[in-house]
Amino acid sequence: MVEKRDYYEVLGVDKGSDKKEIKKAYRKLAMKYHPDVSDDAEAADKFKEISEAYAVLSDEEKRSTYDQFGHSGMNGFSQEDIFNNINFDDIFRGFGFDVGNIFDIFGFGGGHRQGPQRGRDVYYDMEIALEDAAAGLETDIQVPHTKTCPVCDGSRAEPGTGTRQCENCGGSGQVRQINNTFLGQMVNIRPCPTCQGEGNIVEEPCKNCHGQGIVKQTSSIHIKIPPGVETGSRLRVPGEGEVGPHNGPPGDLYVMITVKDHKLFQREGANLYYEKQISFVQAALGDNVEIPTLERPVDFKIPSGTQSGTTFRLKGQGMPHLRWSGKGNLYVKVKVVTPRKLNPKQKELLQEFADISGDEIKSDDKGFFDKVKDAISH
């Protein structure tokens, strides 16, 4: 199987190109490779390649998916899904190309374009606490989206009434227009303007949806967020996006996760980081201290002689791994705090400690404590 080329490479544009630049590049290549004007034996294949690249890069949602996942992100889209937002009439206006032939090139026919189409995806932003990201979360969210009208069931007609065949297109949903161009006489097939490509006309529009066949509503949707998610994680809920045009299947709902900052912990992937303040007496003599974790505090032994800035590892006290079993670690960095005020007795004891240690004090108390602080910090 031939590996697909990068869409940006196919159109000859940069990843930062805007829609106008992408459309200009596509029109230029389409004029070169459209089968109606090209003698190249591979023209049809090249035209399909550049058209597919344009269809994806000109649509914000598809382009975002492609930029994140590459060609594998397009696997969930059919050919009809990929091309359903392209207005070929607008792109090739004045060129004399047969739009119906364009859809034949892709293999799904001109008339199918007005048939059922997949609905748009819906994106929902959600903030959660670090504790919820660690434990996982089940909750209900309120999502605004479109649904098939429950009164007319998407037919657009008031119950008890019906539709009639469009007189302008004879029920085909298409009209033909003949244009004289420098290439000769070209037949342009377009959606019927009278019935909007439907082939039939609603006699009495549904009052509930005003003849649209869809209604806007807010649905309560139950979601399950797995343990280990982090900011940028996406949760896909199939079929809860916008309903598709012409009774097409709905798109999907994507819940975009943001994990809020925590007052105690810093997070890097599955690992957590915490700073523990201790006195220089605890650092010198050692002590049993309490360390907070996401579940419950744990006891930890600070060994004697610990230096300020020393980092200890608490294995398995971090975040769950999202894609495999087990947890990350909690790293505790010790910060030795020097007291700002001492009473006379404390000063006397520290002076005695200095004498026993052989420390020569040549300045006032401030210099001495600076020296003690420096000794502990190195």
Annotated binding-site members for Zn(2+)? 149, 152, 166, 169, 192, 195, 206, 209
Q: Apex CA 36: angle with CA 32 and CA 38, to 5°?
A: 40
Shortest CA distance to 117 belongs to which of 249, 252, 253?
A: 249
What residues have CB less than 8 Å from 137, skipping those under 6 apart? 128, 224, 225
Lookup: tokens for 294: 């996401």
C-beta of residue 29 within 8 angstroms of C-beta of residue 11: yes
Shortest CA distance to 44 belongs to which of 56, 57, 30?
A: 30
CA distance 15 to 329: 38
Given the structure tokens 């002076």, which residue do they identify? 351
Q: Which residues are annotated as a binding site?
A: 149, 152, 166, 169, 192, 195, 206, 209
CA distance 128 to 130: 7
CA distance 378 to 359: 16
Strand locations in 14-136 (E): 122-128
CA distance 309 to 292: 18
Burial class (CB in 10 A: 0-12, 13-18, 19+), 84: buried
- Concatenating the DSSP letter of every residue in 122-172 gives EEEEEEE-HHHHHH-EEEEEEEEEEEE-TTTTTS-BPTT--EEE-TTTTTS
What residues have CB less than 8 Å from 333, skipping those under 6 apart? 273, 274, 275, 276, 309, 310, 311
Beta bridge pairs of residue 255:
124, 235
How many residues does this entry show for the chain?
Answer: 378
